[in-house]
């Protein structure tokens, strides 16, 4: 079986490498020649645990190759569409230009035995429209949404918690083809759900909307907790023991970012409005606003502590939107840096993996190569991303490098009592302050 993957960004590169690791002849296609050249050498263009080994294994074995020529997808049994759907400029809607371009470029190379499987996150109704574009070629189209978590993408591709197939009624052939592609995964008992196009499209955006809502809910509780002196972490522990609620995604702090949740919930709301059901998803606007307010709150807390100690130097730990990633798209930590810099503060930042991506996104930011350089002489330390490296820091050692011993924990990830014992005042989001012991 030959597999083609159109679009070799975060989703596509991981999927292509995973397909090759399953033994399929796989070709990845992307318009970015520089990216393709790196991939040909077995070098991921972004940080993702486990991907370098998977990628190089496929390239070295000859089962995985990359090209800028879409014609190389000709003859593929399955062509996965994995291009980006960013937020449309000047709108909340999704920009489908890359999806449409990918389909249009494929049309001359499709035959009656071809199956296009969409993995990109798209507004409901897109698959039906694309199927009409493909129909004259005799090829089939299915929608096979992804559910990857950055930092766990390889695991989530090769051992997903479910596989979703969106197909036209009666299209048993496409179901059988996807079953063949995922045979080794299905053999392990992975749940497989077959449904229509619209439902498959809604599965992905609904899942993201629910996760975003859960995160923003606990952050709304954090806003109240700060006012009344409650501890939002203990609150989350208590309500999370209810099996109907669950503890996951109830970690209050700076909130969510990245290339998926923020733009996907906005696009979902925009699509609902186009369909005449904007009110049904109106709550997503407040979900978005709660999330954005946490960044302002974090910056305000840092400013307050700077004023208290009479300083203006901030040591920011973490720039990626989440740990185990170098992705700074819509990063809360990077946003806090911007707010502080606009206020005239001197920010020195460190991230284990996102130094290059953050530097491109915010060229004015002073990004250094170690925790020590970031916190040296800082008046306030701010935690923006909960990397394990930061959780494991020795506060006694860090305290010897700083000015005033104050840490604003934007992720509620540090052991406040341990840092307090080392002489630090610890300020969390939605938690009572812990004074230096």
Catalytic residue among 16, 93, 260, 319: 260
Query: CA-CA distance, 90 to 93, in Å (whole number)?
Result: 9
Query: CA-CA distance, 398 to 421, in Å (whole number)?
Result: 13
**DSSP-derived pairing of the beta strands 2-6 and 25-29:** parallel
3-state helix, strand, coil in the chain (%, to 5): 45, 15, 40
Task: Determine the 3-state secondary structure of 428 from DSSP.
Answer: strand
Closest residue by Cα to residue 353 from 308, 396, 385: 385
Closest residue by Cα to residue 120 from 25, 200, 2, 211: 200
| Alpha helices by DSSP H, 310-370 | 332-342, 355-361
Measure Cα distances from 207 to 130, 145, 177, 339, 341 in Å. 23, 11, 26, 31, 35
Element (DSSP H or E) covering residue 183: helix 183-186
Q: Is 260 a catalytic residue?
A: yes
Catalytic residue positions, numbered: 260
């Amino acid at each position: 079986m030959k597999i083609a993957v159109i679009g070799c960004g975060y989703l596509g590169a991981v999927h292509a490498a995973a397909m090759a690791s399953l033994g399929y002849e796989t070709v990845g296609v992307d318009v970015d020649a520089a990216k393709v050249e790196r991939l040909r050498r077995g070098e991921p263009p972004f940080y993702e645990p486990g991907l370098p080994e998977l990628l190089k294994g496929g390239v070295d074995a000859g089962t995985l190759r990359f090209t800028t020529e879409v014609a190389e997808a000709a003859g593929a049994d399955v062509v996965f569409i994995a291009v980006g759907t960013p937020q449309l400029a000047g709108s909340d809607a999704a920009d489908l230009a890359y999806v449409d371009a990918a389909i249009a470029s494929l049309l001359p190379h499709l035959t009656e035995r071809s199956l296009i499987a969409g993995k990109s996150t798209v507004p409901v109704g897109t698959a039906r429209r694309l199927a009409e574009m493909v129909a004259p070629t005799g090829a089939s189209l299915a929608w096979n949404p992804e559910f990857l978590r950055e930092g766990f993408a390889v695991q989530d591709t090769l051992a997903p918690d479910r596989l979703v197939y969106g197909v036209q009624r009666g299209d048993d052939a496409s179901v059988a083809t996807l079953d063949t592609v995922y045979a080794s995964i299905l053999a392990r008992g992975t749940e497989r759900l077959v449904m229509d196009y619209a439902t498959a499209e809604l599965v992905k955006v609904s899942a993201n909307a629910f996760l975003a809502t859960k995160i923003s809910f606990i952050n709304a509780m954090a806003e109240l907790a700060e006012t009344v002196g409650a501890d939002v972490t203990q609150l989350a522990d208590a309500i999370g023991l209810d099996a109907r609620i669950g503890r996951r995604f109830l970690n209050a702090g700076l909130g969510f970012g990245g290339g998926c949740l923020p733009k996907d919930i906005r696009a979902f709301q925009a699509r609902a409005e186009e369909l005449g059901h904007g009110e049904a998803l109106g709550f997503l606007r407040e979900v978005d606003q709660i999330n954005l307010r946490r960044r302002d709150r974090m910056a305000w807390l840092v400013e307050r502590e700077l004023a208290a100690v009479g300083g203006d130097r901030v040591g920011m730990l973490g720039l990626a939107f989440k740990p185990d990633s170098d992705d700074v798209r819509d990063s809360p930590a990077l946003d806090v840096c911007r707010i502080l810099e606009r206020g005239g503060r001197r920010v020195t930042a460190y991230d284990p993996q996102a130094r290059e991506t953050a530097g491109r996104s915010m060229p004015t930011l002073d990004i250094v190569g170690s925790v020590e350089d970031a916190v040296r002489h800082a008046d306030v330390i701010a935690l923006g991303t909960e990397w394990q490296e930061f959780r494991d820091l020795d506060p006694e050692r860090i305290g010897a490098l700083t000015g005033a011993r104050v840490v604003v924990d934007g992720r509620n990830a540090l052991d406040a009592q341990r840092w307090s014992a080392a002489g630090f005042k610890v300020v969390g989001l939605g938690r009572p302050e812990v004074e230096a012991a």
